[in-house]
Structure 1
Amino acid sequence: MRYLHNIASSGRTQIMPRHRNAVGPAGGMIIIGPTGSGKSSTLDRFGAYIGDYARLHTSLCGLPCYWPQIPFIRMTAAGVYTKKQAARQIATIIGRHLNDSRVISTVERTADYDNHIAKLLNTYLVGFLIVEDIQLLSRMKNEVKWEILSFLIRLQENGIIVICVGTILLQTVLEAHRSETEKLRSLGTIWIRPAGKGNETRNLCIKMWQRQIGEHHVEMPDWLPEETGRFTAGLRRHVPELFVPLFKKMADDKLKKLSRDYFCSLAEVALSHIAPGVVIMNRAYQGKRVDSDELKKFEEYIDCDLYKRNVIHRNEVLNRYLKRRASRSKSVTGST
């Protein structure tokens, strides 16, 4: 801020440097919670509030300038096995914000990915870097794990605030690399827990109940929050997966009153794919011991399909980009 004040008070136009050593205090934060507890939804709301788009500053204290600013970068650790892949993903997101595909080409011309990405993030005044699905490092070899973690730590040392988001399996990564990951949680840890029993689950059911369709308005039974919690373990992601088919079937059957047997029979079918994981979660809620192996089973039951879909989607996006880049290269070669 002192540097910017000196520029503004000088009273003349200056060419501002494209990067500094830091734009803020180095630090890291961990956001952790079970799969489906609402981590991604929280980030979506946060991004919608801030605005996930780049701003262009054309003046600073009355002086002309041209300085794009990106509020934050949100990437995923799914399918990332090397530092270069992480750097390419960050550069691709920056290029998409700036509508400039040349940004990613700068990654191909360097081997110092730590400093290069730090310069890019500082150049475009990125407030913080969000890394989702960081718990997937627990399934990788120690060398790969350490390469990605050291990359994030180096970014922090260059003044980038890094927010790592992961499921409960992230605990195994943090415990296995406790000394190295202290910096990644220097700003604290935020736990996003499933919807608790009582008022929280009841309020969630009331909001969902307002979305019902059909000729008849069916009153929400008093037992609904209890049964919803039993079938979903309070995992917010799966509440709509239960209520959407419920409302459709109620409308098809022209139901006027919902019975417990009717609800339970549909819930068993609609949420059969997460039932083993929900059993593990409910055991934990009852105060019974749940070891790390069972937590891993929970993640596999709940999240394996989503992880595979994320990797497939990321590869499709990357392949489309590479094809466009290859076609542009051919057109330039042909014109020359």
Structure 2
Amino acid sequence: MNILILTGRFGMGHCSAAEALRQEILLKDPEAKVDVVDIIDYMLPSFSNLLYGTFNFMVSKCSKIYNFLYEQSAKYCRAPFKRTFIKKVDSLLNTFEPKLIISTLPICSQYISAYKSMKFCSIPLHTYITDIKAHEEWIAKNTDMYFVGSRSTKNTLISKGIPGEKIVISGIPVKPVFREKNICKNLGGTKEVLIIGGGLGLIPSSEMLLKRLSKNKSLHITIITGKNKKLFLKIKKEFPEMEVMGYTSKVDEYMKKADIVITKSGGITTFEAINCETPLYIIRPFLSQEWGNAEYIENLNIGRVLWSENTDVAEDILSLIENKNLLNEMQENMRKIKSHLYPVVPLLFCGNRGEELCF
């Protein structure tokens, strides 16, 4: 079975979801041929670095402008230059000959949906929504199945006209290692605090916060800065008592032993924490798609979200770390969420009979 997963580097969450799906499929069917393709690199190889660089700059330096554009995009959520790219999609499908196409990025769903209409193509398209908030850009009329993180996401899609039978509550995809049951929390003594900046290294904290936390001898603090080398060197120099990591493939190991993780409210990170049963602490989410994730964390009581700028962040974090009963309650809520997710990898539609094969 040939499966093509389409994604893009607009934040690392989409790529992480694509890799998680690839690993999951191969675990269930080692004989499957699974290819992951960055749609922007493939369609616009000469301009992809410029586009991704502009996106990273907007997110990190001009978040208000980014949020405005993100909200406005709901009015124009159709693939641009469809006819221009039709030959590119033809070449893509001829190269990989997929029996199933999976999308973890809205523009991928839009392009494949447009292609299916223009070419009367019947290749199944499955879309995995990587945030709790189902922005209109995720909806493409020729999508055969949607995989979503929560009941609220499913209800939103239904309210926008998507039939319920086309929507599966599977959770947002995380790599299989996050679901392994070797969770080992520290039962006493030093508390493990994990700070993750996300794929762009955007740690949601200030220098003053790190200074305050570093003075607490009852904490062991690990910071993962991702690919932000400048931030890695700065923290390593100024806070030698902290364990600082750059990009690492062992995030699951750090998260499983942590008592709390301070991070952005990205969809992937949220579900990684859920699978590791590690309560979240979110400091003032500032991107539109992350507001929905933060509300989800707060409403299900699996972490604390700091919305106000007037709160003493360090004091608030320390009060949560010391509240053993509340942390236990959050962990139990995470276990309940895991128990209600439908553990499904893509349903494969093959042959003319429309036969469904579930791994």
Instruction: Return the TM-score normalized by structure 1.
Output: 0.32
Structure (1/2) with the larger strand percentage:
2
Structure (1/2) with the larger helix percentage:
1
- Bigger RCO (CA 8 Å, 6+ sep): 1
